[in-house]
Amino acid sequence: MLKAVILIGGPQKGTRFRPLSFEVPKPLFPVAGVPMIQHHIEACAQVPGMQEILLIGFYQPDEALTRFLDAAQQEFNLPIRYLQEFAPLGTGGGLYHFRDQILAGGPEAFFVLNADVCSDFPLGAMLEAHRRQPRPFLLLGTTANRTQSLNYGCIVENPETHEVLHYVEKPSTFVSDIINCGIYLFSPEALKPLRDVFQRNQQDQQLCLDLGDGSSGSWPGAGTIRLEQDVFTALSGQGQIYVHLTDGIWSQIKSAGSALYASRLYLSRYQLTHPERLAQLIPGGPCIRGNVFIHPTAKVASSAVLGPNVSIGEGVTIGEGVRLRESIVLHGATLQEHTCVLHSIVGWGSTVGRWARVEGTPNDPNPNDPRARMDSESLFRDGKLLPAITILGCRVRIPAEVLILNSIVLPHKELSRSFTNQIIL
């Protein structure tokens, strides 16, 4: 039997996802119409023998998370539990802390998935590789181009055996074009090296205490384990870590811009996995171009033109003559007549007045380079806001006829004029 762990992080993380992460935990942000981690759960639920899915993080369990878990358990008929860390424990600390829960029932192996990745999750192929030759750690790897690889964990493998010979997290010079996807399959033995790191950290902490460094209470290392540096880097080349390469879809979801890109990847994948989620051209319905998700409760006028890559959330109202392309419109937002929304995310309950134009600039990977990935997703360069997708936070009001270009509008803001290249507090 198998289990899966999804590492969902906590509110201190995901700052690059602001202002959208103010309203909903980032793992629940809708990507291609469903919460980000629902894609993970769907992939896990399809693996034969999956017994349980555990979410580990340090979010306070709120109503949204509880509701999501209840709905997901029902839908997939699988125990899905949230295990809350007492403090941020790093990418590996939670796995060690909750080891008893993970190993309860004696799983043959367990998947570990970072929440902020978009992937076609080739879990079946990973499991096959594991069963052919069980190892403590199997990482999913993919390729990136030379410059972009520096933003990721880089893996050097033995091309014959796929053993990981060397692992560096975000190197400053080129190491390898194979990068870590943040998707793993661990055998129960994997917890031994985690225990070693934990104990070593405890000893280090004790040492600090003995030396009279009185800051132990807030010592950041307490219980913290960094899976990448403390485990993968330390254990590479010792026959314990292997990599499984994929050329399927994969992207990080660190910023709002990458959420829009991930939405595009998932929407195109729906043609295979969930054709029922893609809007169809129907008589008297809106014009659909390419892959579009429309929540069944959304009201869309027949003269609207949507797509490609558009996701429309629950209870959204789209007026006559609206144009939407490469955008996400969140729960309860209203786009009045003739608005044009391009490369943007319209926040929950926001209103865009008629003939307004909300437009961003995409920073998608070069489509002509199969190895291209999202660039480092910082908002600024040399103190200037970089042109990026436009984001309207929750309950923002955009008046009629104005232009909001390459801007981020924080929640509950009522604008009265046009803005270009600005963050509007």
Partner 1 sequence: MKALILVGGYGTRLRPLTLSTPKPLVDFCNKPILLHQVEALVKKAGVNHVILAVSYMSEMLEKEMKEQELRLGIRISLSHEQEPLGTAGPLALARELLTENSDPFFVLNSDIICDFPFAAMAKFHQHHGQEGTIVVTKVEEPSKYGVVVSDTVTGRIHRFVEKPQVFVSNKINAGMYIFSPSVLQRIQLQPTSIEKEIFPVMAKEGQLYAMELAGFWMDIGQPKDFLTGMCLFLQSLRQTQPERLYSGPGIVGNVLVDPSARIGQNCSIGPNVSLGPGVVVEDGVCIKRCTVLRGAHIRSHSWLDSCIVGWSSRVGQWVRMENVTVLGEDVIVGDELYLNGASVLPHKSIGESVPEPRIIM
Residues forming the site for partner 1 (CB under 8 A): 303, 305, 320-321, 323, 325, 337-338, 340, 342, 354-355, 357, 359, 401, 403, 405, 420
Tokens for 316, please give them. 């959204």
Sign of CA dihedral 157, 131, 110, 97: negative
Q: What is the smallest separation between the CB atom of 98 and partner 1, expressed in angstroms?
A: 49
Closer residue to partner 1, CB minimum distance, 58 or 355: 355
Q: Please, which residues bridge with residue 398 across strands?
A: 352
Rounded Cα distance, 391 and 384, in Å: 17
Q: What is the smallest separation between the CB atom of 154 and partner 1, expressed in angstroms?
A: 36
Q: What is the smallest separation between the CB atom of 367 and partner 1, expressed in angstroms?
A: 17
Q: What is the smallest separation between the CB atom of 378 and partner 1, expressed in angstroms?
A: 22
Q: What is the smallest separation between the CB atom of 355 and partner 1, expressed in angstroms?
A: 5
Closer residue to partner 1, CB minimum distance, 209 or 400: 400
Task: Say if residues 81 and 69 touch (Cβ distance below 8 Å).
Answer: yes
Closer residue to partner 1, CB minimum distance, 214 or 284: 284
Q: What is the smallest separation between the CB atom of 340 and partner 1, expressed in angstroms?
A: 4
Tokens for 68, please give them. 């999501």
Pairing of strands 250-252, 117-119: antiparallel
Calculate helix-pair angle for 36-45, 256-273, nearest 10 degrees: 40
Q: Give Cβ neighbours of residue 18 (< 8 Å, ≥ 6 apart).
A: none
| 3-state SS class at 225 | coil
| 3-state SS class at 368 | coil
Tokens for 319, please give them. 């007026």
Q: What is the smallest separation between the CB atom of 326 and partner 1, expressed in angstroms?
A: 11
Closer residue to partner 1, CB minimum distance, 24 or 405: 405
Closer residue to partner 1, CB minimum distance, 305 or 410: 305
| DSSP H/E element including 352 | strand 351-352
Pairing of strands 30-31, 34-35: antiparallel
Closer residue to partner 1, CB minimum distance, 169 or 337: 337
Q: Give Cβ neighbours of residue 353 (< 8 Å, ≥ 6 apart).
A: 336, 339, 397, 398, 399, 400, 401, 402
Q: What is the smallest separation between the CB atom of 317 and partner 1, expressed in angstroms?
A: 17
| 3-state SS class at 240 | coil
Closer residue to partner 1, CB minimum distance, 376 or 418: 418
Closer residue to partner 1, CB minimum distance, 374 or 405: 405
Rounded Cα distance, 298 and 62, in Å: 25
